[in-house]
A and B are shown apart, each in its own frame.
Chain A
Amino acid sequence: MTKQKLVVVGNGMAGARAVEEILARGGAEMFDIVMYGEEPYGNYNRILLSNVLNGSQEPTDIFLNPLEWYRENDIRLHAGVRVTEIDRNAKVVTGDDGTVEWYDKLLIATGSRPFVPAMEGLNRPDGSPKPGVFVFRTIDDCTKIAGYASKCRRAAVLGGGLLGLEAARGLLNYGPEVHVIHLSGHLMNQQLDAIASDILRTTMERMGVHVHLNTSTTAILGEESVSGLAFKDGATLDCDMLVISAGIKPNAEIGARCGLTVERAIVTDDQMRSVDDPDVYVVGECAQHRGKVYGLVQPLWEQARTLADHITGRNLSAAYHGSKLATKLKVMGVELASMGSIEPTDERDEVVQFAEPKRGIYKKLIVRDGVLQGAILLGDTGKAAGLMQAYDRASALPEERASLLFDLGGPKQEATMLEMPDDAQVCNCNGVSKGAIRRCVTGGKRSMKAVMDATRAGMGCGSCKMLVKEIIEWASEGHVEEDPSIHYYVAGIPLTKPELVRAIQEQGLKSVSSVFNALAEGIEDAASKPGLASLLKTLWGAGYEDERDARFINDRVHANIQKDATFSVIPRIYGGVTSADQLRRIADVADKYDVPMVKITGGQRIDLLGVKKEDLPKMWRDLDMPSGHAYAKSFRTCKTCVGTDFCRYGVGDSTGLGIKIEHRFQGLESPAKLKLATAGCPRNCSEALVKDVGAVAVEGGKWEIYVGGAAGAHVRKGDLLCVAESHDEVLLYAGRFMQYYRENAKYLERTYGFLERLGIEKVRSVVIDDSEGIAERLDAAMQEAVEAYVDPWLEANAPKTPNQFTTSVEVEA
């Protein structure tokens, strides 16, 4: 077989890497290879240039392929020669030294050059380059910058991106005072968010670098050489030199000149070929793939592999699908890793954050539906490798997010999975073993929902769901399928909550059956009914068209169903404060209806258990107390401590506040139950820190409001929402928070999940700082819901449906 001739234009990291990959696939047998490189060297690792600048590495240390490599591989290198023309009809390229090479296949890897923004005074009046102005791109640039800097008093770096900061750090070593001028409001805005940038900035300033943010440079001052900079706001800065590091510009002109499609760079297909010419491949920073131009090495490696697979015929269906960007580097001596999104971009995005600015440590994760969307690690990158892998593979994350940020000292997950015996019970509610889940997965069920449906694992209290997920992942070797319905508000309507709310409001759907008719082709889904009923009641308030069949049995009979089909009766005891008269009535009712168990509940009330359905309305009438809603997805109770009335430590009237809270919010429907508490001092006897909403009195007549606490299947200390000045303010902010939660939580999502999903910062900004301008509307909606309250136990006198309280209808023989 006669060899084809491959000409490579560009001898940077991309061109050389592509050739290495081609050689690794037997390319030497297929191609005569000719390379052109503008720089008179072999190729080197540009990423390490800053080390050459700061003196920690010699130029020779960073060569990837010395000139011998070309000789050993029979590659002809035109070093120091720039290709000026490509003639695609004749299939020849021409160098600026007059050399001409014909080709069968052409690879364009011309890379990019520094982007120099338009400024006055870039050159001397005669048009020659102004001494003291540098770009930072090549080994030669490094040498020149180093030489000049040692004679300078003050140096400026234009651009606070990654490369600019590395240049600044390098300059410090040569003596001048260093200033970084950055257009945007925060440093490294591609890789860091505002908080991380602030920490980095502090670290840099401590090292002696001056940082100017939000600063636009309009002119370079000085006639013969640099003497200063002028900024848009009129200010100036004296300096002797300027290093421009304001981004890159792809070297794509040669592509445009030979008629290839060029947008930001030369446009390629998934095989890294020009979209215009199957014999022309393009790789690296001069290539634009699916609208993206990459300036990092990892995408370049991936592109080179695909290209090599394809050009050598090793795998003709090889395709590059774009890269997920993840970088780990050291900037200004600070460890940094950044990948994917740096800010939430979707309302499902959950932000996990840890900041310790004093030590320069910051960690942030963006998680969507349990999968990592992006991360920033600053100052401590010990967990970067695992996160980068999780990001790249989109694998499911452990529920304990802290373990992603810190070494918690537990054994590694895989070891645990392997070691866990098959008969270990995973779901303690439904008694499902690890083995049962594993068999279900190997039997072909690959989605969380399919496995849960089949085994019932995770369908009880739900606290084992994450473990179930991990087992599925382990058993399927990472090939977990996602069931789209997990994103729906309810399984029976294929819409997320915001989509569903929009459809309901636009179409004016006020009953559950109308929702099924309009949005599910009339097909009812039994399990979806209560979730829809809850949402409609929240959206329409008094305008909601109640259909009793959409309610769970508890809400049809206003009592909690028990294991033997009896019910429990819990009257409301506001703030847990009762009286001898109430207790006497409760005792009489217990006697009269032969109640098998009378119990004090955890919510400071009295539960009458084992009641027949028929007796419910009679008991309510006899009790003459309102419903405690101990059966509903709604506001349940407000637990209180004795507070200032009798307690010798109390600093705030917690019982009074608790009673007010119960009167105001009793029966309020919500996506899941709401359990509140008030504590009269920080001793927290009423456990207000682990409630959905808790108010804790602190000295000075103030109340700390905590939200998102839990102490059930999940244990979580609430987040401090704000400090309120009075009972009324507690009612206002607690109410506004609950309304925001009612409108935005998923069905059955408790406040702890809601808080973890949105983050306290987001919730606080909306509820306290009114960042979305909706506080007034939320307050009004809550007021309307409060006014719509009717004690459901009044149905004792007026049942809503036939046989509502009948266990069984007697049929006459």
Chain B
Amino acid sequence: MMITDIFARNEVSLGSIRQIPPGEGRNFEVQGKRIAVFHTRSGEVFATQAECPHRVGPLSDGLVGNATLICPLHAWKFDLRTGEALYGNCGLTTYPVRRTAEGELVLTLALERE
């Protein structure tokens, strides 16, 4: 992994997009933090906090449709683009994430916003 350059901008490579099947999410342990990363069927990628603000449900196990995520425990619903709650009363922290032309996932942690 060519990480030197990436670290300079506090970016972290998560490895290949192939670790996440299309339409699903997976958790990644990054710098002591657990982040949920989603790979939609249209090829977009999103990253959010790993646990649901409602009852700590594992968001990466949720259902994804377009850019909407449904928590598997009590069906709270979120907009993956903004973290906004579409069901429920508390939104998610999101993280910028992109996929490179080579299919590598790159997460930016420094730009975290609440």
Interface residues, chain A, with chain B CB atoms under 8 Å away: 430, 453, 456, 459, 492, 513, 523-530, 547-550, 552-553, 556, 561, 563-565, 801-803, 806-813
Contact = CB atoms under 8 A, between A and B. Distances in A.
Contacts of B63: 526-527, 529-530, 549, 552
7 contacts: A430-B74, A552-B72, A802-B26, A809-B14, A809-B26, A811-B14, A812-B1
Contact of B73 (A529, A556, A563, A813): A563
B20 A802 contact: yes
Contacts, number: 101
A97 B23 CA distance: 87
Contacts of A552: 63, 72
Given A553-B72, A563-B55, A548 B66 contact: no
A565 B24 contact: no
A556 B68 CA distance: 19
Nearest to A551: B63
B32 to A, nearest CB: 10
Contacts of A561: 58, 61, 72-73
B65 A492 contact: yes
Interface in B46-70: 50, 55-58, 61-66, 68-70
A526 B65 contact: yes
A547 B21 CA distance: 10
Given A492-B65, A526-B64, A811-B12, 16 more contacts: A453-B87, A523-B66, A524-B66, A549-B24, A549-B41, A553-B61, A553-B72, A556-B61, A564-B56, A565-B56, A565-B57, A801-B24, A802-B18, A802-B20, A808-B34, A809-B19
Interface of B: 1, 12-15, 18-24, 26-31, 34, 41, 50, 55-58, 61-66, 68-70, 72-75, 77, 87
Given A553-B72, A563-B55, A565-B56, A524 B65 contact: yes
B63 to A, nearest CB: 4
A565 B22 contact: no
Contacts of A459: 75
A565 B107 CA distance: 24
A526 B31 contact: no
Contacts of B61: 553, 556, 561, 565
Contacts of B58: 553, 561, 565, 807
A79 B111 CA distance: 95
Contacts of A813: 31
Nearest to A806: B26
A550 B15 contact: no
A548 B21 contact: yes
Nearest to A807: B27
B36 to A, nearest CB: 9
Closest 5 CB pairs of A and B: A549-B23, A526-B65, A808-B27, A524-B65, A553-B61
Nearest to A813: B31
Contact of B64 (A549, A811, A812): A549
B57 A809 contact: no
Most buried by B among A523, A548, A565: A565
Contacts of B50: 808
A328 B8 CA distance: 85
Contacts of B69: 526
B53 to A, nearest CB: 14
A327 to B, nearest CB: 47
Given A552-B72, A565-B58, A802-B21, A527 B14 contact: no
Given A513-B41, A526-B69, A808 B57 contact: no
A266 to B, nearest CB: 57
A523 B65 CA distance: 8
Contact of B70 (A527, A550, A563): A527
Contacts of A556: 24, 61
Given A528-B65, A547-B23, A565-B58, A808 B29 contact: yes
B25 to A, nearest CB: 9
A495 to B, nearest CB: 17
A556 B25 CA distance: 12
Given A526-B70, A553-B72, A565-B57, A803 B65 contact: no
A524 B44 CA distance: 13
Nearest to B17: A802
Contacts of A430: 74
Contacts of B57: 565
Contacts of A564: 56
Nearest to B26: A803
Contact of A529 (B30, B55, B65): B65
A527 B65 contact: yes
B29 A549 contact: no
B12 A524 contact: no
A396 B23 CA distance: 39
Contacts of B68: 525-526
Contacts of B26: 802-803, 806, 808-809
Contacts of A524: 41, 64-66
A89 to B, nearest CB: 68
A708 B58 CA distance: 35
A525 B26 CA distance: 20
Contacts of B41: 513, 524, 549
Contacts of A492: 65
Contacts of A802: 18-21, 26
A492 B64 CA distance: 13
